[in-house]
Amino acid sequence: MNNIYQTAKIKSVEIETPKVKNFILDSSIRAEPGQYVMIWLPGFNEKPFGIVKPSPLMLSIAKIGPTTEIIHKLKVGDKVTFRGPYGQSFKIKSGKILLIGGGYGVVPLYFLASSISPEKRKNITVVIGARTKKELPFVTKFKKLGCKVLVTTDDGSAGFKGFTTQLTEDLLNRKKFKAVYSCGPMIMMKKIAQLSHTKKIFCQVSLESFFKCGGFGICGECCVNGLIVCKEGPIFEGKVLL
Amino acid sequence: MVDLSVNLAGIKLKNPTILASGILGLDVATLKRVVKGGAGAVTIKSLTSEPRKGHNNPILIEATEGVFMNAVGYANKGIDHGIEEFRKWDEEIPLIGSIVAADAFEFAKLTEKIQETPIKALEIVLSCPHTPGYGLLAGQGSPKATVEITKAVRKKTKLPLSVKLSPSIEAIGEVAKAAESAGADIINMGNTLGPGMRIDINRAFPILAFKIGGMSGPAIKPITIRSVFDLYKAVKIPIIATGGIMTGEDVIEAVMAGATAVGIGTGIYYRGLSVFQKVCQEIERWLKTNNFKDLKSLRGIVHKT
């Protein structure tokens, strides 16, 4: 039962960027790309986190607030308690696909790319954007999978100087893609949904919202324009943002 | 043709299913989806005078098979935001307001304010089992407090007034009579059951952040049915059966015990937003098969046996 809490131990911790740590647990779950787990810190809080890998369970966590600050202090051997997976997964199209991740938003996209068989990963182009070079997450990991990786930085310290949306527009003008998948800041995903819509390309985005009941879809806290993000999402077609 | 419509204290509902308060009732856009799901009426999430953060997570867990347990702690953006939001209601399906407050004076003030929205009825909740300062934890479940609060609210509104009671107090008949005598038009029976508690043994910690929570879900239905049965004998005003109602057969059972309408909340988890439609189809089928033309002819029939 995915509603029952499981407690695992941290097997290893990787420092991905100055803000992002990857936690690999000694436990595995069955999950689909795009789904998430709710991590419970007893006596403190419970928050959703996208799944990077289901087996062994790997989570990539950016330090953005009090809850993630506590998680960042966890060490190898410490307990992590979670329930899930929850939510809808990406509909993965065969053929050339484009993944666009803004900062730590690349997390669910990595699970998506790794779920595609190795010989087909050359069809995957990934655009990863961050403010500056050292904040770019998962570049090596996507390359190791065999994807084509393009990076953008706001300050030009690596790759294209500018936003992921500019590079995406250029890519969509020059190449034919079967589908576009995006996760990152809302403003970025909106723009990407618009671009995909104009080009009539299938597009999915991963929405972020404030979760309370987290996965049950009944408390209503996470609703955006009447969409129950924790249950009907977090993966939606881009058109919901138009 | 069978008739699913019911008359709830003067409000005509196209069917007896009402979205219970606290479920998806934060905004108009989401409530509209519940209307599409077939609800006969929808209740907003209870509003308080000031915005409230509510309890930390976890606020809701599956406590055991058939039981959910929650301690949300009235997270809401406050009455002023609520008025702005629900003023936009433009559906034919009735919108039911819901308020909670610390005392009769505050309830009265909220009653004045909430009437700036197009609500068709008002629910006052005297029965939350898990929020300090409100409901059971503030002694609002007693006959005395019920009279005091109901009277104060009654003075401020002509709308049909529903009082939501707790199934966890012994003298529910007395409390319901108190509400009726003070001017209530409807009894909502009732709030979540309990409170209960679950501990995660791997962490040696209560799971809900507030440690205790009210229980909902199919497993609490027998308590709802018994409570409605008791209240039907105690009061003359219509009763909404809330707690564990998941199917059309559950509605038939509640109506036989004496309910006029039903509240559905956790049922959305089990059967999706279209739970209302599904429940109505099941009621219709049952009525046809058993040669009843409407729900009215079934109401309270077990009291005659």
Closest Cα in chain A, distance from residue B218 (Å) = 15
Segment B80-111, tens digit of pLDDT: 999 999 999 999 999 999 999 999 999 999 99
Q: Where are the domains of chain B?
A: 6-59+70-195+217-304
Give the domain CATH number at A234. 3.40.50.80
Q: For residues A153 and A232, state if they share a domain.
A: yes
CA distance B305 to B298: 12
Annotated binding-site residue? A147 = no
Quote the pLDDT of residue B170: 85
Residue labelled with tokens 């009579």: B177
**Residue A189 counted as domain residue:** yes
Segment B15-69, tens digit of pLDDT: 999 999 999 999 999 999 999 999 999 999 999 999 999 999 999 999 999 999 9
Closest Cα in chain A, distance from residue B51 (Å) = 14
B304 interfaces chain A, CB cutoff of 8 Å: no
- ipTM of the assembly? 0.94
* Number of domains forming the structure of chain A: 2
Residue of A218, A222, A228 for testing the chain B interface, max B β-carbons within 10 Å: A218
Q: Do A81 and B202 touch (CB under 8 A)?
A: yes
Contact (CB, 8 A) for B165 and B172: yes
More confident residue, B216 or B304: B216
Residue of B61, B76, B266 for testing the chain A interface, max A β-carbons within 10 Å: B61
**Residue A92 counted as domain residue:** no
Strands B261-264 and B17-19: parallel
**Residue A158 counted as domain residue:** yes
- Bridge partner list, A160: A152
Q: For residues A203 and A109, state if they share a domain.
A: yes
Segment A113-168, tens digit of pLDDT: 999 999 999 999 999 999 999 999 999 999 999 999 999 999 999 999 999 999 99
Task: Find the closest chain B residue to A43 by CA distance.
Answer: B209
Q: Do B56 and A214 touch (CB under 8 A)?
A: no
Q: Do B24 and A228 touch (CB under 8 A)?
A: yes
Q: For residues A21 and A47, state if they share a domain.
A: yes
**Residue A129 counted as domain residue:** yes
Task: Find the closest chain A residue to B266 by CA distance.
Answer: A218
Q: For residues A220 and A107, state if they share a domain.
A: yes
Segment A166-210, tens digit of pLDDT: 999 999 999 999 999 999 999 999 999 999 999 999 999 999 999
Q: Do B269 and A216 touch (CB under 8 A)?
A: yes
Residue after which a domain boundary falls, among A86, A117, A151 = A86
For residue B223, name the pLDDT band (cuts at 50, 70, 90): very high
Quote the pLDDT of residue B1: 82
B286 interfaces chain A, CB cutoff of 8 Å: no
Segment A141-153, tens digit of pLDDT: 999 999 999 999 9
Q: For residues A164 and A236, state if they share a domain.
A: yes
Is CATH 3.20.20.70 the right assignment for the domain spanning B6-59+70-195+217-304? Answer: yes
Local structure of A2: helix, strand or coil? coil
Residue after which a domain boundary falls, among A58, A86, A114 = A86
Average pLDDT over chain A reads 96
Closest Cα in chain B, distance from residue A169 (Å) = 32
Segment B123-181, tens digit of pLDDT: 999 999 999 999 999 999 999 999 999 999 999 999 999 999 999 988 899 999 999 99
Q: For residues A80 and A183, state if they share a domain.
A: no
B305 interfaces chain A, CB cutoff of 8 Å: no
Tell me the residue range of the domain where A151 lies. 97-209+215-241
Residue B128 known to be catalytic: yes
User: Does position A1 have pLDDT exceeding 80, yes or no?
Assistant: no
Give the domain CATH number at A65. 2.40.30.10
Task: For the beta carbon of residue B59, count every other beta carbon within 10 angstroms.
Answer: 25
pTM recorded for the entire structure? 0.96
**Residue A91 counted as domain residue:** no
Counting residues of chain A whose pLDDT is more than 70, the rounded percentage is 100
Residue of B44, B57, B198, B210 for testing the chain A interface, max A β-carbons within 10 Å: B57
Q: Do A214 and B57 touch (CB under 8 A)?
A: yes
**Residue A109 counted as domain residue:** yes
Q: Considering the candidates B19, B59, B128, B187, report the single residue annotated as catalytic.
A: B128
User: Does position B305 have pLDDT exceeding 90, yes or no?
Assistant: no
Average pLDDT over chain B reads 97
Q: Do A4 and B62 touch (CB under 8 A)?
A: yes
The residue-averaged pLDDT of A24-36 equals: 98
